[in-house]
A and B are shown apart, each in its own frame.
Chain A
Amino acid sequence: MSRDTALVSADWAEKNLGAPGVVFVEVDEDTSAYEGGHLPGAIKLDWKTDLQDPIRRDFVNKEQFEALLSARGIGNDDTVVLYGGNNNWFAAYAYWYFKLYGHGDVKLLDGGRKKWELDARPLVKDVAAREQTTYTAQEPDTAIRAFRDEVVKAIGTKNLVDVRSPDEYAGRLLAPAHLPQEQAQRGGHIPTAVSVPWSKAANEDGTFKSDDELRAIYAAAGLDDSKETIAYCRIGERSSHTWFVLKELLGHSSVKNYDGSWTEYGSLVGVPVALGDEPGKA
């Protein structure tokens, strides 16, 4: 993968609104954002009610994903262009889902909702109707998803990248600062994980930095290209953003997203936790 295949610009998107075979999909943390105005023709996926299993703490399985995409009118051959608020956190999370279930052509809109709004590009409130399809998903590609036991084994051996803010990494905050902080689990990070906040990879208008800038950021953080990498955050959405950068833009061969992330790890009994600004020892 590369920038040319994984990313589209706002100009490209505006020219391709309504193009046959191109489906724009909005995915937000604030799930009411779509109703307030969205890209003409775009449909919405709700990261919580559509993409999470309602009972188990897991995301939708293959059959649920197939039923969802069929009902929303997304076909196997469609080019899916994902975008959203929060600098594309949840759009990147959905992108990772589409890759996990083997969708052929999926892209992120560079800059997401923010750049689109700041550019004063068109937004509409009417909801596009799409004909139902019969979508077939692949078996989940676990080469891009990390589970907790693998993460514990990776301490001191693989690259662990904590993409939360420095205060969350150090254990001074338990959640991003636009959310209330009261939570039960412990603060801190996985020992030996380096801190590279997701935001290092983005410009302030939400677009991704250049490949050269991105390479320099992860090299300076001490990420060893020859090792496998696991990225995590609090619930797996910001780490999808970094997963996208490392895997899809920079083309690293083995990068996994640990979607259990800190809400799982920081609640486990019997695992090591590091506090403060340094990675800590294995």
Chain B
Amino acid sequence: MTVDQSCAAPDQAAPLPASVDLEKETVITGIVTATDGAVVGGAYVRLLDATGEFAAEVVTSPAGQFRFFAAPGTWTLRALSRHGNGDTTVTAVRGVTETGVRVG
């Protein structure tokens, strides 16, 4: 993956490739944490649409980060990990929407 590690991304967000146009894209990003607050790398995060249908899945980075390119609207994020599972609902808007998912 070509990712610009030096770009000034917010703390909880996975860095974005320079080619991504935030005027057009709806990015949902954040981190997965365990009940003790530790970040969970290697978790499987699924993006489900407003009807609960699967849209995409990514694996979190060692820092627990995930990122999706979606569309404006309501989405559910569901995380599976060796530390347990968890989910959260988010309303995304054009640009970057940040959210966290707690597992355990």
B81 and A118 form a contact (CB under 8 A):
yes
B53 and A197 form a contact (CB under 8 A):
yes
> Which residues of A have CB within 8 Å of B20?
180
* A205 vs B85: C-alpha distance when bound (angstroms): 11
> Which residues of A have CB within 8 Å of B68?
177-178
B1 and A199 form a contact (CB under 8 A):
no
* A32 vs B3: C-alpha distance when bound (angstroms): 14
Identify the stretch in B5-13, B30-38, B39-47 within 8 Å (CB) of chain A at 4 or more residues.
Answer: B39-47
> Which residues of A have CB within 8 Å of B51?
166
- The answer to the question of A173 belonging to the interface, with a C-beta cut-off of 8 Å to chain B, is yes
- The answer to the question of A103 belonging to the interface, with a C-beta cut-off of 8 Å to chain B, is no
* A179 vs B70: C-alpha distance when bound (angstroms): 9
Chain A's nearest CB lies how many Å from the CB of B42?
6
> Which residues of A have CB within 8 Å of B49?
165-167
Q: How many residues of B contact A (CB 8 A)?
A: 29
Chain B's nearest CB lies how many Å from the CB of A152?
28
- The answer to the question of A85 belonging to the interface, with a C-beta cut-off of 8 Å to chain B, is yes
Chain B's nearest CB lies how many Å from the CB of A141?
30
Given known A-B contacts A120-B82, A165-B53, A178 and B71 have beta carbons under 8 A apart? no
* A114 vs B82: C-alpha distance when bound (angstroms): 11
> Which residues of B have CB within 8 Å of A181?
24-25, 69
Given known A-B contacts A114-B44, A118-B44, A181-B24, A176 and B55 have beta carbons under 8 A apart? yes
How would residues 45 to 82 of chain B score, 1 for a CB under 8 Å from any chain A CB and 0 otherwise? 01101010111111100000001111100000010111
> Which residues of B have CB within 8 Å of A177?
47, 55-56, 68-70
- The answer to the question of B17 belonging to the interface, with a C-beta cut-off of 8 Å to chain A, is yes
Q: Which residues 1-53 in A have Cβ within 8 Å of B in the complex?
A: 30, 32
Residues of B within 8 A of A (CB): 1, 17, 19-21, 24-25, 42, 44, 46-47, 49, 51, 53-59, 67-71, 78, 80-82
Q: A199-B54, A204-B80 are in contact. List 13 more A-B contacts (CB 8 A).
A: A30-B59, A87-B57, A118-B81, A165-B49, A165-B53, A167-B71, A173-B55, A178-B56, A178-B57, A178-B67, A180-B17, A180-B20, A182-B25
A sample of 8 cross-chain residue pairs with beta-carbon separation below 8 angstroms, ordered by A number, consists of A114-B44, A118-B81, A165-B54, A166-B49, A173-B71, A179-B69, A181-B69, A204-B78
